């Protein structure tokens, strides 16, 4: 008996784990504006993990689209990705179940600006004792949404051809970035329009 293994979309699978974790979290913290400053150890864990993966995927994506440049930090990512994917800074990520729209990269619309959630992530990472409260719901959801954007662009061909499966349970893209819907043996799939 043999086991065949196909190419894995490692970063897509990791994003789906965050989607699942956020869905579980929503049973304990209602995703509302009133709760956006709620912070906890679980939110620290999710923020640190998701934003760390943002760093990994952003660097990989920059190297993929501009291999001659040495992307090493968020300023490099902003410069390279804004040029290559100009729609990313306005990409809305939705959490339809809670009526939320997130635009995690909108600060990139302003010259030399970094998202607040990224700055807060670094504050929590380096000085958790003083900045624990910045590991809040708003920053955590934005970091996961930011990761979703990057992963979609990293797997752009797969995304546009409906090969990112399974579909996330909680996070979605706004209608501007949706192509079409379909079903296959694995269930509901979407063609993204990036």
Residue 7 pLDDT: 76
Instruction: Give CA torsion, residues 143, 147, 150, 153, to 10 deg.
Output: -140
Q: Confirm if 116 and 108 have CB atoms less than 8 A apart.
A: no
Long-range pairs for 176-180: beta carbons < 8 A, 24 or more residues apart:
176/92, 177/87, 177/91, 177/92, 177/152
Q: Confirm if 21 and 110 have CB atoms less than 8 A apart.
A: no
Residue 120 pLDDT: 98
Residue 182 pLDDT: 72
Residue 186 pLDDT: 65
Write down the domain spans for the chain.
Answer: 10-192
Residue 183 pLDDT: 67
Q: Global pTM?
A: 0.94
Q: Confirm if 139 and 49 have CB atoms less than 8 A apart.
A: no
Residue 81 pLDDT: 97
Which residues does residue 136 pair with via DSSP β-bridges, in sequence order?
39
Mean pLDDT by 10 residues, the chain (194 residues): 76 98 98 97 98 98 95 95 96 97 96 93 96 97 98 96 90 90 70 88
Instruction: Give CA torsion, residues 69, 73, 74, 79, to 10 deg.
Output: -20
If one counts every other C-beta atom within 10 angstroms of the C-beta of residue 157, the result is 8
């Amino acid at each position: 008996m043999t086991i065949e293994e196909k190419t894995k979309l490692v970063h897509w699978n990791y994003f789906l784990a965050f989607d699942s974790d956020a869905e579980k979290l929503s049973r304990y913290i209602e995703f509302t504006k009133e709760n956006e400053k709620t912070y906890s150890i679980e939110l620290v864990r999710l923020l640190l993990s998701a934003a760390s993966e943002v760093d990994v995927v952003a660097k990989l994506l920059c190297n993929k689209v501009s291999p001659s440049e040495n992307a090493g930090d968020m300023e490099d990512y902003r410069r390279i990705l804004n040029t290559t994917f100009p729609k990313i800074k306005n990409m809305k990520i939705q959490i339809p179940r809670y009526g939320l729209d997130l635009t995690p990269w909108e600060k990139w619309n302003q010259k030399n600006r970094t998202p607040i959630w990224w700055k807060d992530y670094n504050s929590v990472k380096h000085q958790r004792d003083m900045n624990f409260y910045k590991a809040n719901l708003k920053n955590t959801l934005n970091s996961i949404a930011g990761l979703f954007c990057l992963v979609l662009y990293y797997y752009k061909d797969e995304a546009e051809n409906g090969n990112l499966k399974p579909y996330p349970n909680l996070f979605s893209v706004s209608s501007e970035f949706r192509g079409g819907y379909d079903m296959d043996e694995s269930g509901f799939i979407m063609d993204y329009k990036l």
